[in-house]
Structure 1
Amino acid sequence: MARKKDDGETATGAGNGTNGGNGGGASGTAELVAARALLIGTTPIRIDPMDEEKILRITGKLDEEKPPTKCKLDELRAWLTERARKNLDAACRADGRYGLPPRYLREALISAGTGVKTGRMSKLSTATKSQVPSLIKIADTFLSFPRNCQTWALDIDHGHGQTGDFAAIFRARFDRWAIRPTLVFDPHRIAEATVRELVKLAGQNVGLGGHRPDRKGDGGMFEIGGWELLKEVPVLTGAVDVATLAAELKDEAEWTAPAAG
């Protein structure tokens, strides 16, 4: 059952057993709340994802794929478009839909934390550290764009490298986009109103993808189009069931017997 706070904010009561509870049970886990936010893109988002192959090439200092030499402009555009498609399919596509890995939003929330305080605590983020990852979890493993936001185009821009040399920038651009993340948090550690303010500032001041506001651009900005507290808190991917694991580890053999194999 929801309870009303002094500032008009609501928070749920008991959790769902796996992530929730009143803190006094066998697992000792805190009471958690899940909020589903509808985030509507207000400016185009530009994506140049780092898929596994690209990371390995940079790590190994391997030559990147290069366009054919002395080709016509339309051939070059087609080659770059296919390269952008390949990168998108490798890192930003799941279940047949384009979207974003959760780290895009997580990093934006961390950056936005420099402008948000919670209670009497210091700011949620500084230049060297952040409390955001420990206070707010993104339950989704992938943030899909809706069906009517799957069209993209090749975005061609330019910039300057570290040496000041001209550098061409090619990215996939979605003019229409939206995501619907589920944010899980403990309302006794961070208020729902603070979480919402953090998301709002991330959309206004930080943005997602390339050429965003915190990189001196205007891309990837968004506004909150909807906010809903869920009745059940989803199980977080990779979450450890402390009570179950603790029961297993009470067996002395787990600590003294030789490892299997």
Structure 2
Amino acid sequence: MTTKFKNGDIVFVPARVLPNPDREPFALKDVTVTGQVKRKIQIDRQDGHGNDIIVASRLVHGPNLGITVLEIGDLSTEDHTLDPLAKSVLHYLRLLVRPENIRLLKIRTVSELQHLWSKYEPATSHVVFIGHGSEDSIRFLDRSDPVTGSELAKLMLDAAPSTDAKLFLSLSCLTGRAPFAKPFSKSPVCRDYIAPFQSVHSAAASLYSQSFFAHHLLSGEEVRPAHAKARSAVGAGVSFRRWRNGAMIAN
């Protein structure tokens, strides 16, 4: 069995699998695939004994690695809630991934969403939603009615029809409940969807995000254990739920 990566592909691996990881400035390092061994890849780096390094493919991020933070503003709470949360997520990610692989997009309308998503979708593997949500929708300033999970997925798919499925982390209140999460996670735009089950303070949302990405990117863990550890880090009273293909995934 081979992996989804081909020889010559530029991919990203956790720095911890390389010699002298403390010398690497970011948690992920770009390397070239030079071979495949069952469900592992061989890369163009050697260990301290001169042996080619083999990495499990589940730890490898593809060439389109990129994290897009989408702040959906509302004019009234941006200064004291949405902006600080978005910046805390952005600055933490800058400690983990190269600057060119991270972007903060500040939008308020559906038209802005579609315009920017069509531009940045090819360079995105992970998306962070920051905005005001409910159990079935997220608010945009140019819509009299909030946008539901199924509508949001369709808007993004219409803007980038050839999209690859992404990992979405929503920090918007209540959007981890079924009315929003089920249809959104079932869409072709979504591979994994994680969101809070109840109202969540910005500080708790920031803490979950930092813990999740620390385990997922810095430690090179898969989504499931990274999510479980991030949930534990936030503590009691705040629950983030993971969805995939329209179904909630038990931890």
The two structures have a TM-score, normalised by structure 1, of 0.23
Q: Bigger relative contact order, structure 1 or 2, given CA contacts below 8 A and separation 6+?
A: 1
The structure with the greater share of residues assigned to strand is 2
The two structures have a TM-score, normalised by structure 2, of 0.24
